[in-house]
A and B are shown apart, each in its own frame.
Chain A
Amino acid sequence: MSDTLQKSSDIDLDKRPENGRATAIKSRLTSWDSIILVLTVLVLIVASFSVENFGTSRNFTFMVLDLLPIILIALPMTMIIVTGEIDLSVASTLGLTSSMMGWLWNQGLSIETIIPLCVVIGAICGVVNGFLITGLGLPSLAVTIGTLALYRGLAFVVLGDGAVADFPWNYTGWVTGTIGGGAVPNVLILIVVLALIFGIVQHATPFGRSLYAIGANAQAAHFSGIRVARTKFWLYVVSGAVAGLVGVLWTLRYSSARADNGSGLELAVVAAVLLGGVSIFGGKGSLPGVLAGVVLLTALQNALRLEDVSGQALNIVTGSLLVLSVLLPNITTAVRGNYHRRRLRQAASR
């Protein structure tokens, strides 16, 4: 049947690639995730020259540890937002697993049992979210605001306002330690491995492709044979599991299991993802952009702290960047549109 179709292929496809590639590169350069990447590199360079102690290996280790929770949770969050949903319960899942970790430790379980168990608990939290959202068809924003309160509440029920601190030093030491006592923190390996896995899944697999289709037009995705509900369900499970893992790492890093661990982190993660150029309406965004967004926020915070600027004042920068990340592209298109219209009017009046 292909023979009947191949009658004439004299399309002007061949004429355009040159021109096409140029505009493609241009649009690539002016896209928000490229801007944020450049901005991140700039901030890193400027800070290492102008901020005392910023470039030291000790500070690098601290930065990576500060980066750890946001960057890991941002990996599945990026996918969820790309599909047009949201998960605000991640920080509470983190708190719940942290609490459970302390409680289980007090029950005398071995740390080797507790850690995988905590990841499973996180995944179960994700299952509940996923069921409510994809099974019952409830809006994810409302559901995860609900489970945000629920999981955090359960965390307090489990552990109260106390803390469990006597975790084995070899585990707490591994999280805060560096490879061979050098400059590269152990957890960086974890970050790199997970980021690579998530990056490949999101940008180079059929599953990743389906995420964008779902976010841009769920009905068309369904008509193309994509299992929309099932895909979203698993994203929530993964998101919960990663939040559980981060709960474990958080607990080990501070050597303290507390119910309020990671409180408010969900907004920082969402802010970082959106700052990285992911559209809140779904269908658009890339993981490199998000990674750059997280690094940018953390580096700024770190540099300001070293300069003795209140970390809270950084909120202004974070918030402004977040708004600008969506506002700037809108303004440029509006200006371009106006210019186009004015030219038309001028042409007509001549």
Chain B
Amino acid sequence: MTTLSLHAPAKNLLKTRELGIVLALALLIAYTAIDNPRFLSGQSIRDNLLNTAILAVMATGQAVVVITRNIDLSVGSVLGISAFTVATMMSANPGLPMIVALLAGLAVGAVAGLVNGVLVRFGKVPALVVTLGTLYIYRGITYSWAGGSQVNADELPRHFLTFANDNLLGIPWLVLIALIVVGTGSLMMRNYRVGRELYAMGSSPAAAELAGIKVARNLLGAFVLSGALAGLAGVLYAARFGTVDAAAGNGMELNVVAAVVVGGVAVFGGSGSVWGAALGALLLTVIGSALAVLDINQFWQQAIVGALIILAICADRLVAVRIARSLRKRDAHV
């Protein structure tokens, strides 16, 4: 049983990945707060969380897809089509309750995700190609439908618009939904068979087939989840910003992938976590607001995000190399 104690360092290294983001986040917040204490005011925290919510919801779906060694680049377009659909629906039928809007968004997204999944699994087209294609297709559909028109805030029912700012026990609905999504997603990936199967599929696709894992079902599920969550994000987007045109969420896929990568999900699948991806989303958002508070040129934000992505994958690489080394040493003892 000495092997267990020898093994401990490797395990700790594994844990540092999410811990690293938490630390970076803590440092950033501390530094910014010292410079300007208003950064920790209720309003500021609230804004940060609200801004994170939409990204975190999408990052959850993306993390699941990336863990299976796939990618979903169509999420920005799915957000757009869902936001526009729901906004149009709500402006035409102001009486509909919020839950119908949420369900409609989820459904639109799920269908879009299903199309992706079917093409990837049954068409045997690589996910990068499929979702790059549907990125164009879904956006194109939105454009041909909307044309140049947009749905303005004054056309939308009040209860829809106030949803973003309404609270339950002091927590904004938007944040609450994001927490539920991230929490459920993490739990599913960590503690349920289907989650572990998704990790297995990403870790070794061939072995997953041989192990009798229901690869087709799981893969479709992952894409449907990613699509549905992007659809949900579309509803949240429409509620939060009030004005929706065909360009909503354009280019968002890159932020989502960035959040996932920064959050420690390996682009070749098999490792990382949903809550890590959510932390990545939080970190990216906080950087944005911290720059504003610190009075640093806003234009630096994107450059910093880019640098952070590269830093994150370098760190992952380093951790992987260190684990390999510590395991080799351990094996040498045995």
Contacts and interface: CB of A to CB of B under 8 A. Distances in A.
**Direct interface between A and B, CB < 8 A:** yes
Tell me if A's interface is mostly helix, strand, loop or mixed.
Answer: helix
A147 interface: yes
Contact of B258 (A145, A154, A259): A145
B306 A152 contact: yes
A319 interface: yes
A329 B286 CA distance: 46
Contacts, number: 149
B323 interface: no
A323 interface: yes
A218 to B, nearest CB: 15
B309 A145 contact: yes
B126 interface: yes
Contacts of B136: 267, 271, 315-316, 318-319, 322
A301 to B, nearest CB: 12
A123 B254 CA distance: 24
Given A139-B267, A139-B268, A149-B309, A274 B129 contact: yes
Given A156-B303, A330-B125, A136 B132 contact: no
A327 B119 contact: yes
Interface in B280-334: 297, 299-310, 313-314, 317
A139 B246 CA distance: 33
B140 interface: yes
B314 A138 contact: yes
B240 interface: no
Interface string B131-158: 0111111111101100100000000000
A319 B258 contact: no
A207 interface: no
Contact of B143 (A138, A149, A310): A310
Nearest to B309: A146
A146 B258 CA distance: 7
Contacts of B132: 267, 270-271, 274, 319, 322
B306 A151 contact: yes
Given A138-B314, A310-B143, A149 B254 contact: yes
Interface in B40-96: 71
Contact of A149 (B128, B299, B303): B303
B254 A145 contact: yes
A157 B301 CA distance: 9
A326 B129 contact: yes
B15 interface: no
A150 B306 contact: yes
A313 interface: yes
Nearest to A309: B144
Nearest to A325: B129
A199 to B, nearest CB: 24
A331 B302 contact: no
A234 B310 CA distance: 20
Contacts of A208: none
A264 to B, nearest CB: 7
B170 interface: no
Contacts of B21: none
Contact of A327 (B71, B125, B140): B125
Given A310-B147, A326-B126, A149 B258 contact: yes
Contacts of A138: 313-314, 317
B137 A145 contact: no
A314 interface: yes
Contact of B267 (A142, A270, A326, A331): A142
Contacts of B130: 323
B310 A330 contact: no
Contacts of B124: 330
A151 B147 CA distance: 32
A148 interface: yes
A213 to B, nearest CB: 21
Contacts of B37: none
A323 B309 contact: no
A21 to B, nearest CB: 30
A225 interface: no
B261 interface: yes
Number of chain A interface residues as a range = 35 or more
B278 interface: no
B303 A150 contact: yes
Nearest to A313: B144
A173 interface: no
Interface in A280-330: 280-281, 310, 312-320, 322-323, 326-327, 330
Contacts of B212: none
Contacts of B246: 312
Contact of B300 (A157, A263, A270, A312): A157
Contact of B305 (A137, A143, A153): A153
A319 B137 contact: yes
A310 B123 contact: no
Contacts of A136: 314, 317
A141 interface: yes
B267 A153 contact: no
Given A139-B313, A326-B126, A316 B141 contact: yes
Contacts of A139: 267-268, 313
B235 interface: no
B251 interface: yes
A160 B313 contact: no
A132 interface: yes
Interface in B212-257: 246, 251, 254, 257
Contacts of A264: 251
A331 B119 CA distance: 11
B59 to A, nearest CB: 14
Interface of B: 71, 119, 123-126, 128-130, 132-141, 143-144, 147, 246, 251, 254, 257-258, 261, 267-268, 297, 299-310, 313-314, 317
9 contacts: A141-B128, A146-B310, A149-B254, A280-B128, A310-B143, A314-B140, A318-B133, A320-B133, A327-B119
Given A132-B314, A141-B128, 4 more contacts: A281-B126, A312-B246, A316-B137, A319-B136
Interface of A: 132, 136-139, 141-143, 145-154, 156-157, 160-161, 259, 263-264, 267, 270-271, 274, 280-281, 310, 312-320, 322-323, 326-327, 330-331
